[in-house]
Amino acid sequence: MNGSHDSHKSVKFGVDGQQDLQLEEVDITIVVDSSFVYPSYKSVKDKEIKEIPTKLVFHYKCDSNRCEFPMTVLKESMYLKSCGIKETTEVIVHTIDSNQQLFTARQCGGYIFQAAGKSLVLIQNDSVVPNDETCFGFVDLTKARRRLIHQYEMNKLRSAQAERMPTGQKTPSAVLNGSWTSAAIGTGFGAAAMLGTLKFLKKI
């Protein structure tokens, strides 16, 4: 997943061990965002962070404009591939990179990725010196992968249902892509509004 972010863009991507999936980027973003929790550094520093192998600690830095994530390093990591989590990790880091304000990339101390009950990957923010209250994004890769696949299957089902409806009953969004972000949420509440709402809710 490369290139600039376009919330209406349909993206084909792989999640480890699965066929290629195709979703709109807004769907991917919503699934990934809702998969994260944000524990404080003091609650993860003595276990989750310590158990991550050094070879699976990656780094990003932020300046006044944006944060630069190590996408090339992740793509080339044989250690990620050997753990069976390379593609899912890439999808999630790309999503964070494309939505840095939503995922509070500058303020986070980093992101911890867990799989099979173990913390396996740390994407560390080298621009932050964490104190006990610094938040770290925490995601279970196995659950995130399942949710992405579920969203893909639900979109396929909605698209198939829309195709079977009489022509006069089809909504434009259902005909185009079966995406719940437009069809199920309501008229006039599209991808940009959904992402804006997510950003607002994270400030409450």
For residue 184 the two structure tokens come to 């199920």
pTM above 0.85, yes or no: no
Q: Given this model, what pLDDT does residue 159 score?
A: 78
Q: CB–CB of 133/17 below 8 Å?
A: no
188 contacts: CB under 8 Å, gap ≥ 6:
none
The pLDDT of residue 174 is above 60: no
For the chain, state the CA radius of gyration. 18
Domain locations in the chain?
10-201
Average pLDDT value for residue range 37-51: 96
User: Nearest CA to 61 among 73, 45, 75, 49?
Assistant: 73
- Report how far residue 35's alpha carbon sits from residue 21's, in angstroms, rounded to the nearest whole number: 18
Residue 105's CB is within 10 A of a number of other CB atoms, namely: 23
- Report how far residue 150's alpha carbon sits from residue 139's, in angstroms, rounded to the nearest whole number: 17
List pLDDT tens digits, range 141-172: 999 988 888 888 888 888 777 777 766 555 54
